[in-house]
Structure 1
Amino acid sequence: MARLFARPVMRALAALGLAVSLAPAAHAADPLTLIVPWGAGGSSDVYARTLALSMEKTLGTDIVILNRPGAAGTLGTTEVARAKPDGNTVGVSALAPFTMQPHLRHLAYDVSSFDYICKPYSSPMALVVSDDSDFKTLDDVIGYAKAHPGELKYGSPGPGSLPHLAMVELGQKAGVEWTHLPTQGGDTGNVRNLLGHHIDMVPIQIVPIASNPIRPLAVFTDERLADLPDVPTVKELGYDMAHVIWGAMFAPKGVDPARLAQLEDACAAAVASDEYQSLLETVKVPDLYTGMDETNSFAVEESDKFKRLLAAAGMTQQ
């Protein structure tokens, strides 16, 4: 997940004049260690570093960012889970390591191992086809799939990814079958396969839509998007579902509530900062910030949902 959006966000970062590393500031308090369980330059990393610029000022302390990539984000997430719950170690990541991966493999943690401080970003997805496709609406796609079970092919970054599970759920709710063709290269690779007619459709984040000859049929959001006002939601078309690629700041379970509240306030201030708002505008991600209570509930709900969808796809651990 972290590699999704990497190029657009890196361009956004450069446009904002932000450094890839954070220079330490002269603060007296103990530093905050912020673990990103993905490589430098990925979307989670860029969001984390932009947040940290403001949070350092709010908290009055240095923030040390550690990239801990590996094992689909679970190595760094495990490090957060095992950290001393003193409020000086947190993580920032897209959703997969704590809502999906615990259902796919045996790990030292699950979704309940953390307190979720805030949800600072949620990246919307749209189901797209090529401009020359015969499909003009989602109803066209569903109708064809019902008449030709398994014939339509869709792409995703890989089995168990959010785009894959979104299509699993849409197929369930529409009562249709289609064929999954995972593609390396994230959204870029899937758009390439779509334009080469190797796949018929793909759920992608919305940034590539403006720069490619592709047609969005529906968005997987609760409400229509300002950037795609004429594109209906999957939900309004009759399929009660929504998916976004979201990320959270999280701490090991057991941190003092007063410290969690302090971190929550700092995260909210960072999301409202000019630098962070400029980043969201550049990568076309709406400000869908939520605080601690809502993010904790949402993480558990998402984990339960993905457990069900992964089971439907035959991918849950035994």
Structure 2
Amino acid sequence: MLRRRTLIKLAGASPVALATPALHAQAQWPKQPVKLMIAFPAGGPTDLTMRVLAENIAKATGQQVLVDNRPGAGGTLPAQQLQLAPPDGHTLAQIPLGVFRLPFTQKIAWDPATDISYLIGITGYAFGVVVPADSPLKTWTHFVGWARANPGKLSYGSTGVLTSPHLTMEDIAQRLNLELNHIPYKGSADLMQAILGGQLMAAADSTGFAPHVNSGKLRLLNTWGEQRLAKFPDAPTLKELGLPIVQASPYGLGGPKGMDPKLVQRIYGVVKKAMEQPNHVEALARYDQQLMPMDPAGYTRFARETMAREKVLIERLGLMRPA
């Protein structure tokens, strides 16, 4: 009887609710601080918005959510670290689209399709290409013309090798018969410092560039969504420029393989409420991001379908690892 009363107090629920094993299991998470690994450096759009989400989860659960930035390797390090973590829900990771390209670009001992517990889809990015405000590349037409006249000399930066900005730019270059000079960085913050410091001619990034465009330091040549961004109505989409490409690079949260389905549902429910809070929605809006929710089943299906599409792209770009 004493143990029953204790569980009721901890869960904040009625005896009837605690009578079901599923809710009993849910009440056990989190039992300790949760580590949330982010695939990009501190200070960039992903880090800033994910920290708001982490704070919301902490408030909802009464446990700390410790943000652990793991930049590099095209955003795949958190997913790789999940392979070493116990499936108890206390180690979670952001899963960028680059994770689904990993088996096709390097030899790994695990499979993103089966070795991650997909918990919830959260959002995606708004991408574009920017140049310094004083650049002679005034429009995308100038960009393409200069690149064709100077093969291999137009330098552009991205947030890392095999990230969505990198592969989309290579896709664009292949379609337009351009030879570009790609320079990878570990994240948006480093990339913006480089282009503002005159080290690059262009940058392909999510809208971490927005403040610098608004301040007049950078010029936006195009965006990569289905429609123009409301914040930058003068910047054409790739589709408007004759390129049949839309790239939002959706991401969400994953956990280690083998998580209990009841635990997966508990985390999904907590995170879904946390991401729908006004402060998180507002944080996303600052970077032209919108909620793109997917439940565990939908996110798992998305992961497997995306892997199939990314394999086709990697093959077409000639980036497949040797068999």
TM range (shorter): 0.7 to 0.9
In the alignment, structure 1 segments of 5+ residues that lack a partner are 1-25
- Does residue 284 (structure 1) correspond to residue 284 (structure 2)? The answer is no
193-202 vs 229-238, which moves further: 193-202
Counterpart Cα distance in 1 of 2:109 and 2:66: 22
Note the 1:135-174 alignment, pairs <5 A. 135-146=137-148, 148-174=150-176
From 251, 264, 275, the counterpart of 1:247:
251
Match of 2:299 in 1: 295
Alignment deviations for residues 218-273 of structure 1 (CA, whole Å, 9 cap, x no partner): 10122221211221211232211122354311133444444433332322211111
Residue 211 (structure 1) aligned to one of 210, 215, 221: 215
Cα offset for 1:143?
4.1
Normalised to the residue count of structure 2, the TM-score between the two structures is: 0.72
Distance 1:36 1:118 in 2: 15
Aligned partners of 2:69, 2:147: CA distance in 1, in Å? 42
Contact map agreement 1:130 1:215 (CA 8 A) in 2: yes
Q: Is 1:274–2:275 an aligned residue pair?
A: no
In 2, the alpha carbon distance for the partners of 1:42 and 1:246 equals 20
Task: Name the CA distance, whole Å, in 1 between partners of 2:219 and 2:41.
Answer: 32
Q: Indicate whether 1:108 and 2:112 are aligned.
A: no
Mapped pair 1:91 → 2:95: no
Q: Which residue is equivalent to 1:21? A: none
**Could you say which residue in structure 1 is the equivalent of 2:4?**
none
**Kindly, what percent of the aligned residue pairs are identical?**
25
Could you tell me how far 1:57 is from its partner in structure 2? 5.4
Corresponding position: 1:202 with 2:203: yes
Q: Is the 8 A contact 2:223 2:237 kept in 1?
A: yes
Secondary structure of the residue that 2:205 maps to in structure 1? strand
Aligned position for 1:8: none
Question: Residues 310 and 284 of structure 1: is their aligned pair in 2 closer, same or farther, counting only changes over 3 Å?
Answer: same
The Cα offsets for residues 18-62 of structure 1, whole Å up to 9 and x where unpaired, read as: xxxxxxxx955334334415588465555444323333555x563
Alignment partner of 1:30 out of 17, 28, 31? 28
Q: Using the alignment, how far apart are the partners of 1:165 and 1:269 within structure 2?
A: 33
My pick for the range that moved more, 118-127 or 244-253, is: 244-253
Q: Greater shift after overlay, 251-260 or 208-217?
A: 251-260
State the 1:203 CA deviation: 1.1
Match of 1:129 in 2: 131
Structure-1 residue corresponding to 2:22: none
State the aligned residue count.
289
Contact 1:36 1:48 in 2 (8 A): no
2:284 counterpart letter in structure 1: L
**Aligned counterparts of 1:166 and 1:132: Cα–Cα separation in 2:** 25
